[in-house]
Structure 1
Amino acid sequence: MKTLIAFFLAACCAAASAQTPQPPEVAARQYILLDLNSNQVLAEREADVPGEPASLTKLMTAYLVFNAIRDKKLGLEQTLTVSRRAWDERRAGGSLMFIDTTMTPKVSELLRGLIVQSGNDAAIVLAEGVAGSVETFVEAMNRQAKAWGLKNTQFKNVAGLTEPGHHMSARDVAMVAAHIITEHPDFYPIYSMRQYSFNNIKQDNRNLLLGRDPSVDGMKTGYTEAAGYCLVASSARETPAGKRRLISVVMGTASREARAAESLKLLNWGWQAWDAVRLFEAGKPVVTVPVWKGAQPEAKLGAPGALYVTVPKGEGDKLKTTVERTDPLLAPLIAAQQVGAIKITTAAGTPVATVPLVVLEPVPLAGLFGRAWDSIRLWIK
C-alpha cells in the first residue's frame, strides 16, 4: 500500500515511448484512467483540479465505515437508530434509502442503501453510528484524506451535497476507490449489485455499465446540478499477466448516459491500447549478491511485491531491467530493507517504472572471526 500512496503523491508518469497511445476524446471536465496493478496513470485531463464530487464523496464515507467494521467498532448485524437529521434529508433532495425515525436498519442494510441506492440518509445514519455525529465523522474523513496526501480534497459533508469548500479531484477520487478495492475486498462486491430493495422500495444501481460490460464490477455514481454527472467505474479482466484492473473517473459530464459512455470509452481504450506485463513475482529474487560480514555469504534481493508495468501494446518484450544497488553490501540486513532500485525502461531508454530493491531474507551478522576476515578482504579490495 505504501507503493500505491507514493505513486499518487508523486503522480508517477505512465509508461511512455515514441509511440505512446493517444487517449480518445472524453467529454468530461476532469478524468483519469488508472491501471491498478501497475499503479500507472494511462490517461488524464485536469486530474488535479478540485471539482464538485457529488455522491462520489460516499466512497470515503464507505471506506471509514468499512474500517470501523474491520476494527470491531461496528457490526454488520448491529442496528442503528435513524436520527431526525437523517429523516430531514428528504427535504434536502437527492438520493435516498427512504428510512425514517421509526426504523432501526442493520449496518449491512445501510451499506447497501449507501452504495447501491446512494442514500444520503443512509450516509448520515452510518456516520452517526461510527463517530457519534456527522461533524466528527467529517473530521475523520478529512484526516484520512490528509494521511493519504490528497491535496485537492476537502469534505464538508458525508453525502456529497453542494457546499462551499466541499471538493475532490479526479486523481483523489481514484485513490479512494483504489484503497477500497485493495484494502476491503470483502465489501467491494456490494458495488456490483444491480439493485437493492429496502422497506419494499426497489431501486436500481445508477451505474449503467454494470449491465453493459461484464468486466465492470463497480463502482459509484454521482450527480448534482453543480457537479454534473460523475462516475467511477472499475473493470477487471484475466490477462496473460494475471488479473488486471482498470479504474476510470469522469467528472462533469452532461448526462447519465454520457457518463456511462465516456467511462466505457476510456476503459475500452485502456484494454485495447495497453498491455500489462508481470516482470517479477512476489518473493522471487531478482538478483543474488555477495554480502560482507554476514552469517550467509549472499543475499537475495527483489521488488517489495509482484512487479507489474503497463506498456503500449506490443512493447512488453522490449523492456529493459537495470538493477542499481549498494556496493559493498554489509550485514546485518533485515527483510524489506531497501538497498537500491530496480529501473524499467523501454528499448529506447525511456523510463517506465522505478521500484525499490529490497532484501527478501534477513542476513544476520557473522561471528567475530567472520567479520574480521571480511574486514581484511574489504581493505585489500
Structure 2
Amino acid sequence: MTGQFPTLPRWSIAALIALAFACASGAASAQTIQTSVPHAILVDADTHSVLFEKDADAPAVPASTVKIMTAEVVFNELAEGRIKLDDQFLITENAWRTGGAPARSSSMFAAVNSRVRVEDLIRGLVIDSGNDAAIALAEGIAGSEGAFATLMMKRGRELGLTQSVFTNSWGKDDPEQRVSPREMTILAAHVIATYPEYYKYFAEKEFTWNKIKQTNRNPLLTMDIGADGLKTGNIDASGYGLVGSAVQNGQRLILALYGAASAKERAEEARKLLMWGFRSFDSKTIFAAGETVGYAKVYGGVSFEAPLVAEHEVKILVPRVGGEKFTGRIVYDGPLMAPVAAGKEVARLKIFRGSTEVLDLPLKTAAAVEVGSLPRRAMDAGLEYIGDLFRKYVGSKLDKKYVANQ
C-alpha cells in the first residue's frame, strides 16, 4: 500500500475449522495395518485421502515404475496431437542393443532397424515392460534419451512432482533418478483420470510381438481384486516395487510400494493393503461443491473477510471401526489485500486425522471484495498495526519463556 497507509507485513494464517462430523473417539488409529515393505502409501483416488503410509516421502529407486512417467509423456504427446498411434518409430541400434534382446533385460524383442507403430510400442512398454520400447519412444518423440528425460522432468514439475527426478525412460539404475512413493500415486491418479483411452493398455494381460508372447508383469492383474494397472519394477539397487490400482464397487484405490525383498512379498503386501483399504473405510461428504468452507481475512475492503469454497465436493474416507478425530485448517497468506477477485485461488484446505494430514485441496474466493472507503481502510490499518504489535510482544514473551525453561 502507498500514501498514509504503511505496507503491512504478511504472515501465514492457519484458521481452524470445525468439520461437520468426527469419528468415534478412542485410542485406536485408522492406520491399524502394518506392512513389511519399507516404503508404501495407499490413496483413495476420488477423495485423495491417504489411507495408509509408511516412509512415503523417502526417495526410492523407481526401476521400471519410471515407465509410468514415460507413458504419461507419450499420452500427452498423443493428446496434444503431436504424434499418432499409427506413427512408426525406428528401433535404433541403441534401442535394440541397450534395451532389446542383446541386453538380456525386459524387452518386447523388436528387431533392430525395424519400424514399430506407437500403439505397439505402448503395449511393449506397459505390458512387456520393454526397455527397447521405452528407448524407441524416447528417441522417436524427443530425438534422444537425454532430451526425452528433459521432457519427463518438465511434465513431472507441471504435475506437481517436486521431489522426483527422472533421468531416463526405462528405469536404468542412476544415482540421480529417484522418486517419491507419494508422488507416484499422484502421477498414477493423473494418468488414470486424464487418459482413460490410453490407460486401458495397462490392463491388457498379454502381448505378442515378433512371435514372442509375454504376459503382463503386474501380479495384481492375476488376482480377483479389480486391478487394472499400473507397473512393477525391480533392480538389485531397489528391491521390488509396484505402483498399482484397483476398483471395487466404484471405489478406486492407488498404491505405491518400494523395497520389497521378493516378487512374492511385493504381490502379497500389495494385495493385503488394497483389500484392507476397500474393507475398512466409508466415504463421507463434508462440504458440497461451492459450499462455504470458511473465510479469509481481507485488509482494506468493503468487507472484513472473503468466503472460501472448494470447486468440487469435498469427501474423506472415515474408518469404519474406531479411529482418531478429524480436524481441518484453512491455510493462506494474509490478510488478503483488497480488491480481491472472485474465483481466485487464495488458500488451501488441509484435513488431518489425528496429527496425520490426509487431504490438501485448493480453496477459491466465492465473491469479490472491493476496496473500502478511506475511513474503513484507516481502521484496518490501525487494527493491523495493533495486531502486529501484539504478535511481536506475545511472541517475544513466549520466546523468553521457552528459553528460560530449557
TM bracket (short chain)? 0.7 to 0.9
Query: What's the offset of the Cα at 1:83?
Result: 0.8
2:255 is paired with a residue of what secondary structure?
A: strand
Q: In 2, distance between residues paired with 1:124 and 1:328?
A: 49
Q: TM-score, normalised by structure 1?
A: 0.77
1:23/1:269 contact within 8 Å kept: no
State whether structure 2 residue 71 is matched by structure 1 residue 62.
yes
Query: What's the offset of the Cα at 1:324?
Result: 9.6
Q: CA RMSD in A?
A: 3.9
Query: What's the offset of the Cα at 1:261?
Result: 0.8
The partner residue of 1:150 within 144, 155, 162 is 162
* Structure 2 partner of 1:104: 115
228-237 or 259-268, which moves further after superposition? 228-237
Q: Identity over aligned residues, as a percent?
A: 33
Q: 1:244 to 1:284 in 2, by over 3 A?
A: farther
State whether structure 2 residue 313 is matched by structure 1 residue 275.
no
269-278 or 62-71, which moves further after superposition? 269-278
2:92/2:113 contact within 8 Å kept: no
Query: What's the offset of the Cα at 1:214?
Result: 3.7
After superposition, where does 1:348-359 map in structure 2 within 5 Å? Answer: 353=359, 355-359=361-365
Q: In 2, distance between residues paired with 1:226 and 1:351?
A: 31
**CA distances 1:259-308 after superposition (whole Å, capped 9, x unpaired):** 1111011111222223222323434556899x9999xxxx9752122212
The partner residue of 2:341 within 333, 342, 345 is 333
Q: In 1, distance between residues paired with 2:352 and 2:175?
A: 44
**CA distances 1:199-222 after superposition (whole Å, capped 9, x unpaired):** 332211111211213421111111
* Structure 2 partner of 1:175: 186
Query: What's the offset of the Cα at 1:341?
Result: 6.4
Structure 2 unaligned regions, length at least 5: 1-22, 381-406
1:17/1:350 contact within 8 Å kept: no
Q: 1:44 to 1:355 in 2, by over 3 A?
A: closer
Q: 1:126 to 1:216 in 2, by over 3 A?
A: same
Q: In 1, distance between residues paired with 2:61 and 2:301?
A: 58
1:80 is paired with a residue of what secondary structure?
A: strand
**CA distances 1:86-135 after superposition (whole Å, capped 9, x unpaired):** 11132222111111134221111110110011100000110011101111
The partner residue of 2:30 within 21, 24, 42 is 21
Query: What's the offset of the Cα at 1:44?
Result: 2.3
Structure whose alpha-carbon radius of gyration is higher: 2
Q: 1:156 to 1:258 in 2, by over 3 A?
A: same
Q: In 2, distance between residues paired with 1:47 and 1:341?
A: 22
2:271 is paired with a residue of what secondary structure?
A: helix
Q: In 1, distance between residues paired with 2:61 and 2:44?
A: 24
264-273 or 180-189, which moves further after superposition? 180-189
Q: 1:93 to 1:18 in 2, by over 3 A?
A: same
**CA distances 1:319-346 after superposition (whole Å, capped 9, x unpaired):** 67788999999776322444x6657577
Q: In 2, distance between residues paired with 1:139 and 1:61?
A: 11
Structure 1 unaligned regions, length at least 5: 1-14
Query: What's the offset of the Cα at 1:58?
Result: 0.6
1:217/1:235 contact within 8 Å kept: yes
* Structure 2 partner of 1:84: 93
1:20 is paired with a residue of what secondary structure?
A: coil
Q: 1:315 to 1:341 in 2, by over 3 A?
A: farther
Q: 1:161 to 1:287 in 2, by over 3 A?
A: closer
State whether structure 2 residue 48 is matched by structure 1 residue 36.
no
Q: In 1, distance between residues paired with 2:167 and 2:262?
A: 25
**CA distances 1:35-87 after superposition (whole Å, capped 9, x unpaired):** 22232332222323323221011111111111111111111111111111111
- Name the aligned partner's letter for residue 59 of structure 2: P
Query: What's the offset of the Cα at 1:191?
Result: 1.1
- Name the aligned partner's letter for residue 278 of structure 1: T
1:138 is paired with a residue of what secondary structure?
A: helix
Q: In 1, distance between residues paired with 2:167 and 2:295?
A: 52
